[in-house]
Amino acid sequence: MAEQPRRNADGAPVGRRALLGMLAAGAAGLAAAPYLQSGWEDVLGAASQVDATGLTGLLPNPGGFRYYSVVGSVPRKNDTNYGLTIGGLVDRPRTYTLPELRALPQTRVVHDVLCTDGWRVDNTPFEGVKLADLLDAAGVRSEGAAIRFTCFDGAYTESLTLEQARRSDVLVALKMQDKPITHEHGGPVRLFVAPMYFYKSAKWLSGISVTDKVIPGFWEERGYAVDGWLDDADRGDGSA
Ligand SMILES: Nc1nc2c(c(=O)[nH]1)N[C@H]1C(S)=C(S)[C@@H](COP(=O)(O)O)O[C@H]1N2
Ligand SMILES: [Mo]
């Protein structure tokens, strides 16, 4: 539902994974953003060429997951250099270290993970701090209506409405499959939005900014639905 099938110049469907493969394998320092902004025509032409070389086959697929990144390399962060900043339309902006996040009450959510590319990993446990708790601590101002998420890969962004962000199944996750989140899966901290397609779960999370309206994220600027609900999602408050 969220992803429209894309077609190249010959009308053949082009998987987004080909594009991701191209980006992951991308040239020096990866000028991903300007390249993408050159328009789908160019991007898809290049993507299908890369696909033909088999580069996308280099992406590993352990345990049913695939690793996705829209940039070629991402810095590694740990206890000493990781920070999560909460700001925007809040009364008490602050930056949390990793030990500080670990010291907060932790919630475990088990949910099926689905990517719009068609793969899924059922009953995956995630654990971390409820985004709602961090928002409450920050004191969202009355003008606040949405959240913009930014990542230390320097490129990916995501969004949620404030109502979605306050659900009890939306986590700032520190663990995935009961282990600290690996670098490849977006560690040390990623978002987990259980009731939505996995593209909403931003990896390498570094910024949470309260905004007065939804600002479409990376893939949403490229055609994905801003509301990434899974087909069977309970669109209520997530507490059911
Ligand atoms: N920072 C960042 N977050 C991201 C992505 C990305 O490319 N960069 N890809 C998204 C998509 S489309 C999916 S399916 C999942 C993949 O998570 P995984 O690599 O841990 O399997 O991460 C989401 N979050
Ligand atoms: Mo995805």
pTM: 0.79
State if residue 201 touches ligand 1 by the CB under 6 angstroms criterion: yes
Determine the distance separating the centroid of ligand 1 and the alpha carbon of 90, expressed in angstroms. 27
Residue 184's pLDDT is 96
State if residue 151 touches ligand 1 by the CB under 6 angstroms criterion: yes
Please enumerate in sequence order all residues whose Cβ is within 8 A of that of 60, keeping only pairs 6 or more positions apart, or say none.
Answer: 66, 67
The protein residue whose alpha carbon is closest to atom 11 in ligand 1 is: 199
Residue 166's pLDDT is 98
| For the CA of 187, the nearest ligand | 1
The minimum-distance atom of ligand 1 relative to the CA of 16 is 12
Overall fold of domain 84-222: Sulfite Oxidase; Chain A, domain 2 (3.90.420)
- Dist. CA 77–CA 55, nearest whole Å: 27
Determine the distance separating the centroid of ligand 2 and the alpha carbon of 98, expressed in angstroms. 26
- Dist. CA 223–CA 196, nearest whole Å: 16
- With a cut of 50, say whether residue 33 has pLDDT above it: no
Which residues, chain by chain, have CB under 5 Å from ion ligand 2?
Answer: 115, 198-199
User: In whole numbers, what is the pLDDT of the chain averaged over residues?
Assistant: 82
Which pLDDT tens digit goes with each residue over 132-153? 999 999 999 999 999 999 999 9
| Domain residue limits, the chain | 16-69, 84-222
If you count DSSP H runs as helices and E runs as strands, how many of each does the chain have, helices first?
6, 12
Instruction: Compute the average pLDDT of residues 154-182.
Output: 98
- Dist. CA 197–CA 205, nearest whole Å: 17
The minimum-distance atom of ligand 1 relative to the CA of 151 is 1
Cα torsion for 177, 180, 184, 189, to the nearest 10°?
110
Q: Quick one: pLDDT band at residue 41, thresholds 50, 70, 90? A: very low
State if residue 207 touches ligand 1 by the CB under 6 angstroms criterion: no
- Contact 151/205 with Cβ under 8 angstroms? yes
Which pLDDT tens digit goes with each residue over 182-215? 999 999 999 999 999 999 999 999 999 999 999 9
- Dist. CA 127–CA 37, nearest whole Å: 36
- With a cut of 80, say whether residue 165 has pLDDT above it: yes
